[in-house]
Structure 1
Amino acid sequence: HMLISFPPRKSAVDVIKALKGRSAFLFLQIHPEIRQKQYWGGHLWSSSYYLGSLGNMSKDVVERYVNDQKYNAYKKIGLYES
């Protein structure tokens, strides 16, 4: 989960493409063995994505949701105790 803000002149599709492209580039620089094995047809990310807007929710509500997801994921793998 990510909460990002971008100027209205940028399209959501362009922002997602940039995030996925740059993160794949950086990841594959650190882990070249992934590229060498040609996982996923040479692509790190699938072509799909989900994008939601805040709508009538406040930024604080969404930030809390994102942080709760992070906490729940860490708790699931044992980084936080109940």
Structure 2
Amino acid sequence: MSNDNDIRHGRHCVFLMHVHLVFVTKYRREVFTKEILDDLRPMLASVCRDFEAELVEFDGEDDHVHLLVNYPPKVSVSNLVNSLKGVSSRMIRKKNYPSIRKKLWGGALWSPSYFAGSCGGAPIAVIRQYIEQQQTPH
């Protein structure tokens, strides 16, 4: 997709769904560097492709990351998040970064919680007004 406003087509549906995800490191430890974030991007994009989703945008700071993902309706956001966090945690730990090894012990890179917010499209107030204005049959 060249434009994040492109409407996608499935076999029996037409859709345009985006989710804003935020993942926080375990204990909110400040472990990410630019190098680690640059390594995370292709890992996360690959997982998205496995779900027929697209990583539209990605960035982060030293203790958390933000993702904007365009995904099909057949994908459960919780399954997508589970895979994104699991795969990225395993792959980043395999690379053995000193900042992560020093500040995080055990097997976890991410906190078990996450933020997911739907985004894009018309504001809720506009959609509500449009639905209210439908011509109900008598």
TM-score category, normalised to shorter length: 0.5 to 0.7
Which has more radius of gyration? 2
Shift in Å, 1:26: 1.1
Greater share of helix: 1
2:88 pairs with 19, 23, 26, which one? 23
Matched pairs, number: 55
How far apart, in 1, do the equivalents of 2:104 and 2:119 lie? 37
How far apart, in 2, do the equivalents of 1:38 and 1:3 lie? 26
Residue 42, structure 1, aligned to residue 107, structure 2? yes
How far apart, in 2, do the equivalents of 1:25 and 1:9 lie? 26
Indicate the residue corresponding to 1:8 in structure 2.
73
In structure 1, give the amino acid aligned to 2:72: P
How far apart, in 1, do the equivalents of 2:67 and 2:109 lie? 18
Give structure 1 stretches of 5+ with no counterpart.
59-82
In structure 1, give the amino acid aligned to 2:81: I
How far apart, in 1, do the equivalents of 2:93 and 2:122 lie? 36
Mapping for residues 41-80 of structure 1, pairs under 5 Å:
41-54=106-119, 56=121
Shift in Å, 1:38: 6.4
User: Tell me, what secondary structure is at the counterpart of 1:7?
Assistant: coil
Give structure 2 stretches of 5+ with no counterpart.
1-65, 124-138
Find runs of 4+ consecutive structure 1 residues off by over 2 angstroms. Answer: 55-58
In structure 2, give the amino acid aligned to 1:24: S
- Structure 1 length-normalised TM: 0.55
